[in-house]
Chains A and B, each alone.
Chain A
Amino acid sequence: MEDWRKNKLAFMVFMGPATFWLLVFFTIPVVAIWVYSFGERGPLGQTYLAFSFDNYLRAIEPIHLKILWKSIWIGGLSTFLCLLIGFPVALGIAFAPDRWKNPLLLVVVLPFFTNMLIRTFAWIVVLGSRGVVNSGLGWLHGQADWLLGFAGLPDVMGQFTPLEMLHNNYTVIVGLVYVHLPFLILPLYATLEKLDRSYLEASLDLGAGQWRTFFSVLAPLAMPGIVTGCLLVFILSMGNFLVPDRLGGTDSMMIGNLIAQEFSKARDWPFGAALSFVIMYPVFIFFAINALMMRRRERVRAEA
């Protein structure tokens, strides 16, 4: 790597345009909502700049705190399920023979590139009251009815009522796990793939079982990947707007939906801005810690 001072002009030419674009159309907008989050809402929905923490205080009012709490537990539970499903999958792919790795990874990542809206809709096709599962159950019901009628017991089964599987918190969790699984598998795979396997072999040779090796050696070594993946999934789940909107019920509102509502129906932008910062503060803190750790690592490397 070159020092940027060696060729300042080339550095500026390459860095300049993208930096400018992201500064104007990303950083400034983010700063703008940060400023708005301290503002006040006028009687007609307009925003007055101010310096008050009222919006943040409103975010912890009981009604909103309930939504916040719901986002945290739904986000947390779906992250945990992602980890439960994703860890064995990442492990299997990372320890697969080389020629299998890319195809397997491709199979995992491919659905991730289909539209999130469509992936959410797909669950309506599967679980909806007129969906595939209910049609299957209805068919089974009909067969059973016919069989029982044949055995001299007509009308025992009664009318088939479709199961109401959509529009509750569980479908929201299923949808969130479905949509975010690759976000966990990929960083985890990257860590597990680079891992020094001699540690695992040593542990197994020294008499530790697979489980003990897993919890005392493999999991600690994979911790950076686990933390990155889980944080990513947790943040994205908490802020997800589409999945609770389409798969959730009336009480499945999460923080993403609340933000969307403040920007459409309620038109209370300062409150919406404060809510989006409630999600973003943890992201910023995580990135700050990450950057600090990277700086320290660089310094250690420079000293060595």
Chain B
Amino acid sequence: MTDIVAGRRRRREVNPLEYLKRPWMWLTLFGCFVFLYFPIVTLVAFSFNSYKRAFVWKGFSLEWYEKAFNNQALHEAFINSMHVAAVSTVVSTALGAMLGLALYRYWFPWKGTYEGIIHLPIVIPEICMAVAMVIFFWAVGIELSLYTIIVSHIAFTIPFVAVVIRARMAGFDVSLEEASRDLGASEWQTFWFVTFPYMIPGLVAGALMAFVLSLDDFVITFFTAGVGDNTFPVKIYSMLRFSVTPEVNAASTVLILITLSLTLVAMIMQSRWTKGKKE
């Protein structure tokens, strides 16, 4: 009898809203994480496999990395990717940051509609944007090349940078600007010495995000690239079409490593500043 009462009491102790304390919730979360990570981890693991013909573990080897590293076409594609990502990051960070700041600061008529249009590149399927760019470049008479890739990448990364900058500015204390103006600083000085330094973590996070998005993009790049202008993902795609060897795994692992480390840095910076805001 007392046991039953005690059992009930123990049950009550779990707050009904603390879903994380329930075993089925742990099971679901765990299952989801396995689903999310198992394929990627397997792919990375088999880049170190010494066996070629199938994904059967036969021993550790760096052979495929050596092969990927000595693959001239892959090399070239990697350099192209870096070139595209670097140039488009610089431009889209500058333009996106200004846009994010303006959207944070100003109210103007039809702002909701404007924002809707601005965010379209994030929500429409990539293939639609890719096709639109191809028709546009063709109609204007611009030949497809690395530069058309850069132009398209800038267009689809600007909204992402703007979103990040706006999130950063949401924690800004406007009285700092007022104080600066009261103390005699010009508008320009106030921007440069008060507002801009506050934006810097957002700028870094936005730039990293733009870089990763550009480096990772396949669909838009595939369509807007000129003949022979391979980027790293496009090259991986064409390698996949011919034969699936662990060399593709090795190349993919390199790309995963770069994008994940950059993303982690950006996210840690973002969580730092939100933490600072709460304290």
Interface residues of A (CB under 8 A from B): 1-4, 7, 10-11, 13-15, 17-19, 21-22, 25-30, 32-33, 36, 85, 88-89, 91-93, 95-97, 100, 102, 104, 106-111, 113-119, 121-126, 128, 130-132, 134-135, 138-139, 178, 181, 197, 200-201, 204, 210, 232, 235-236, 238-242, 246, 256, 259-260, 263, 269, 272-273, 276, 279-280, 283, 287-288, 290-291, 294-295, 298
Chain B residue contacts of A276, Cβ below 8 A: 125, 127-128, 131-132
Chain A residue contacts of B108, Cβ below 8 A: 3-4, 11
Chain A residue contacts of B72, Cβ below 8 A: none
Please name the 8 residue pairs, one residue from A and one from B, whose CB atoms are nearest each other, closest first: A239-B125, A122-B39, A29-B136, A130-B54, A18-B99, A29-B132, A14-B102, A4-B108
Q: A280 touching B124 by the CB < 8 A rule? A: yes
A-B contact pairs, 25 of them (CB 8 A): A4-B107, A11-B108, A18-B98, A21-B95, A25-B154, A27-B117, A28-B136, A85-B35, A92-B20, A92-B28, A95-B17, A95-B19, A95-B20, A100-B20, A104-B29, A108-B33, A110-B264, A125-B39, A125-B43, A235-B124, A235-B125, A239-B126, A246-B240, A280-B128, A291-B116
Q: B127 touching A260 by the CB < 8 A rule? A: yes
Given contacts A7-B187, A113-B259, 12 further A-B pairs with CB under 8 A are A11-B106, A21-B95, A21-B154, A29-B135, A91-B19, A107-B33, A116-B218, A125-B43, A128-B244, A130-B53, A204-B16, A291-B116
Assuming the A-B contacts A110-B260, A121-B43, A241-B127, are A25 and B151 also in contact, with contact meaning beta carbons closer than 8 angstroms in the complex? yes
Chain B residue contacts of A122, Cβ below 8 A: 39-40, 42-43
Q: A22 touching B155 by the CB < 8 A rule? A: yes
Q: A273 touching B154 by the CB < 8 A rule? A: no
Assuming the A-B contacts A97-B20, A201-B17, are A115 and B106 also in contact, with contact meaning beta carbons closer than 8 angstroms in the complex? no
User: Across the A-B interface, how many residue pairs have beta carbons closer than 8 Å?
Assistant: 267
Chain A residue contacts of B219, Cβ below 8 A: 241-242
In the complex the two chains form, what is the Cα distance from A63 to B89 in whole Å? 42
Interface-located stretch among B4-12, B197-205, B248-256: B248-256
Interface membership of B65, Cβ < 8 A: no
Q: B32 touching A26 by the CB < 8 A rule? A: no
In the complex the two chains form, what is the Cα distance from A279 to B158 in whole Å? 23
Chain B proximity of A120: nearest CB distance (Å): 9
In the complex the two chains form, what is the Cα distance from A295 to B109 in whole Å? 10
Interface membership of B82, Cβ < 8 A: no
Chain B residue contacts of A32, Cβ below 8 A: 132, 135-136, 139
Interface membership of B120, Cβ < 8 A: yes
Q: A33 touching B120 by the CB < 8 A rule? A: no
Chain B residue contacts of A111, Cβ below 8 A: 36-37, 40
Q: A210 touching B16 by the CB < 8 A rule? A: yes
Chain B proximity of A292: nearest CB distance (Å): 8
Q: A121 touching B252 by the CB < 8 A rule? A: yes
Assuming the A-B contacts A1-B105, A92-B20, A290-B116, are A135 and B56 also in contact, with contact meaning beta carbons closer than 8 angstroms in the complex? yes
In the complex the two chains form, what is the Cα distance from A19 to B38 in whole Å? 42
In the complex the two chains form, what is the Cα distance from A106 to B35 in whole Å? 15
- Chain B residue nearest to A237 (CB atoms) is B125
Chain B residue contacts of A197, Cβ below 8 A: 17
Chain A residue contacts of B249, Cβ below 8 A: 125
Q: A235 touching B123 by the CB < 8 A rule? A: yes
Interface membership of B62, Cβ < 8 A: no
Chain A proximity of B177: nearest CB distance (Å): 11
Chain A residue contacts of B2, Cβ below 8 A: none
Assuming the A-B contacts A114-B40, A118-B256, A119-B39, are A33 and B131 also in contact, with contact meaning beta carbons closer than 8 angstroms in the complex? yes
B35, B96, B123: most-surrounded residue (chain A CB, <10 A): B123
A97, A117, A201: most-surrounded residue (chain B CB, <10 A): A117
Chain B proximity of A17: nearest CB distance (Å): 5
Within 8 Å by CB of A17, from B95, B133, B260, lies B95
Chain A proximity of B50: nearest CB distance (Å): 15
Assuming the A-B contacts A26-B120, A232-B123, A279-B125, are A18 and B158 also in contact, with contact meaning beta carbons closer than 8 angstroms in the complex? yes
In the complex the two chains form, what is the Cα distance from A138 to B123 in whole Å? 43
Interface membership of B271, Cβ < 8 A: yes
Assuming the A-B contacts A18-B98, A32-B136, A122-B40, are A89 and B55 also in contact, with contact meaning beta carbons closer than 8 angstroms in the complex? no
In the complex the two chains form, what is the Cα distance from A270 to B233 in whole Å? 28
Chain A residue contacts of B98, Cβ below 8 A: 13-15, 17-18
Chain A residue contacts of B180, Cβ below 8 A: none
Chain B residue contacts of A114, Cβ below 8 A: 40, 216, 255-256, 259-260
Q: B99 touching A19 by the CB < 8 A rule? A: yes
Interface membership of B273, Cβ < 8 A: no
In the complex the two chains form, what is the Cα distance from A7 to B107 in whole Å? 11
